[in-house]
Amino acid sequence: MKLHALAGGLLFATALSGFASPAKAQDAALTVFDWPGYEDPALHQAYVDKHGASPTFTFFGDEDEAFEKLRSGFRADIAHPCSTNVVKWREAGILQPLDTSRIAAWNDILPGIRGMKDVMVDADGTAWFLPFDWGNTLLTYRTDTVDAADIRSLKAFADPKFKDKVSIPSNPDAAYALGLLAVGVHDIQAMTDADFDAASAFLREVHKNVRIYWGDNTELAQAMAGGEIDLAWAWNETANALKANGVPVDVMRDTDEGLASWVCGYALLKDAPGNLDKAYDFLNAVMAPSVSSYMVTAWGYGHANGAGMAAVDPAALDAAGHADIDKYRDKTIFAVPVDHNTKMRFVQEFEKIKAGY
């Protein structure tokens, strides 16, 4: 769920396909530690309107990097983790609880997200995480070189005809979502040893076709735009941005096995040095119902505010693949927290797979 610049004259970031340019002024009283691209003022316009500038943004490339930086003493006020890492961050003591009485849209969060165990609140009911954006990791392909009939199954990633034309994420969570889906698993928390072994075996077959393990969307978008990659396991905005710039790509939402879905959001950091009132102003700004339409149309993602999503043009929801969430809910694998041992198992085995073992 990262947005970056795409070389060669295309901007795969805030200036691409309707993304606004970053705010020129920054409010030093609030620092947001975020993925690149989320400094887009249209995502927090109410904050700009109230304070005259966006917060100060500083960026991370992935959540493991962000976690280690925060653990080593880096200080900010708000961060943007995803559902798989909320428990890890909370247990490491780098978050502080949310005062939900200060978040206007707290009760408007989509029910499917509210129901995710140990994400928004812990077992004691303490709130730690405000869901903001959600989307998919799904099969993305060049329509000029790939026949849609050949990619009805995720097993296409291991088809020898795509040798050296495949790209999947370097992130083990995203890779194992693909592997587990491909072998028929839709609940990571119910994964058995046999499921893990089968998913690992599949990823080893995929490895034979991989040209690039992408670490960010700049790398993947460049490779797809340049014709290096025909088939990718990618986030929504990859196809969104490339199509907006005339690159012949599309997504396959209804593969036999389904797709992966994730939720990311904002959390308050412990010992935050900035202004707490402004922190809540920012949280309320990103959750404003008016943000929903922009999130869907410009980014291709869903917004966690159910009231806002209900007001989005149905045609826009359909174009983004969000018109009927129930349609793919039974064929998706959700990014949910897993225990430390499972997380390390993914990391260690995927490192071996990427190294060819």
**Residue ranges covered by each domain of the chain:** 26-133+263-324, 135-260+332-354
pLDDT at residue number 216: 81
Mean of all residue pLDDT scores within the chain: 90
Backbone torsion region of residue 11, taken as left when φ is above 0, otherwise alpha when ψ lies between -120 and 50, otherwise beta: beta
Question: Yes or no: is domain 135-260+332-354 CATH 3.40.190.10?
Answer: yes
255 vs 117, which has greater pLDDT?
255
Choose among 141, 65, 7, 91: nearest CA to 267: 91
pLDDT at residue number 334: 87
Reported as a pLDDT band with limits 50, 70 and 90, residue 18 is very low
User: 26-133+263-324 in CATH: which number?
Assistant: 3.40.190.10
**Mean pLDDT, residues 33-53 taken together:** 96
pLDDT of 5 over the 80 cut = no
In degrees rounded to 5, what are phi and psi of residue 150? Answer: -85, -5
- Note whether 26-133+263-324 and 135-260+332-354 share their fold: yes
In degrees rounded to 5, what are phi and psi of residue 183? Answer: -105, 15
Candidate from 77-91, 116-130, 256-270, 310-324 with smallest mean pLDDT: 310-324
Which residues lie below 8 Å from residue 10, measured CB to CB, with a gap of 6+? Answer: 16, 221, 225, 241, 245
Alpha-carbon span 105 to 24, nearest angstrom: 28
Choose among 112, 133, 100, 106: nearest CA to 298: 133
From the CB of residue 22, how many other CB atoms can be counted at a distance below 10 Å? 17
Candidate from 25-34, 172-181, 197-206, 322-331 with smallest mean pLDDT: 322-331
22 vs 72, which has greater pLDDT?
72
**Mean pLDDT, residues 214-219 taken together:** 85
> How much is the pTM?
0.83
Which pLDDT tens digit goes with each residue over 260-316? Answer: 999 999 999 999 999 999 999 999 999 999 999 999 998 889 999 999 999 999 999
3-state secondary structure of 66: helix
Write out the two tokens for 275.
């202004």
